Amino acid sequence: MDGTDHILIVDDDADIRELLTQYLRKQGLQATAVADGRQMRAFLASQRADLIVLDLMLPGTDGLTLCRDLRASAQPVPILMLTARGDEADRILGLEMGADDYLAKPFAARELLARIRAVLRRTRMLPPNLRAAEPARHIAFGDWKLDTTGRHLTDAAGTQVALSGAEYRLLRVFLEHPQRVLTRDQLLNLTQGREADIFDRSIDLLVSRLRQRLGDDAREPRYLKTMRNEGYVFCEAVNSPGPGS
């Protein structure tokens, strides 16, 4: 993690904003805190955030809606969701909306820092076994091209679709292992390594999100097929023409 990384905290609790801002700055990070979605948008319109710590319960537009809107935009910034509610349903909903990680309140500042570091590492680095000596800038499959520099998809009409860090890593794994059944454990290890915060449905949720991005029908899939009691397989042929293609 780069010491110049800029963390944007979005939380309506003034005490939490002050505590987290001071703590992260003491750890050598840049940190800015805002109280709601309006202030978050104003910040992002003029400045860069390397990661957003986003509270679920906010006045006005809630955190889930803000997360969904960020994922629908061209901003692939990692999102760590905070909530006072720690049940699995809320965690699943946050991940479905595109959050990269999830932390329930109350939490220790050290745990938040560890999760921030882990998300930033996962966002910026693919596992070693997925790094080619000269990776293709564009990887073509079906009606899509994946830009491995911008980390977005482009459809046949030229429309760009932004991916979250987790979606990008999972898609890269599938594109590097086409026509091969991958178990959920293998997918977790390949995308998140030993830092994975594993719970039963996390990979299923990511696959569901990828299918939505690709317009893939789970009942009659073109790209991602579910293998009952085994895992998933990427069915489409993959063409990696090389850098600059």
Pairwise CA distance, residues 245 & 236, whole Å: 19
Of 103, 124, 145, the residue that ends a domain is: 124
**pTM > 0.75:** no
Which pLDDT does position 130 carry in this prediction? 46
Which pLDDT does position 73 carry in this prediction? 74
Q: Please check whether residues 176 and 209 belong to one and the same domain.
A: yes
CATH of the domain at 22: 3.40.50.2300
Which pLDDT does position 241 carry in this prediction? 54
For residue 1, tell me if it sits in a domain: no
Which pLDDT does position 87 carry in this prediction? 61
Which pLDDT does position 15 carry in this prediction? 95
Q: Please check whether residues 18 and 72 belong to one and the same domain.
A: yes
H-helix or E-strand spanning residue 176? helix 165-176
CB-CB contact of 238 with 190 (8 Å): no
Which pLDDT does position 148 carry in this prediction? 83
Question: Could you say which residues of the chain have pLDDT below 50?
Answer: 126, 128-134, 194-200, 242-245
Angular region, 195: left φ>0, alpha ψ -120 to 50, beta rest? alpha
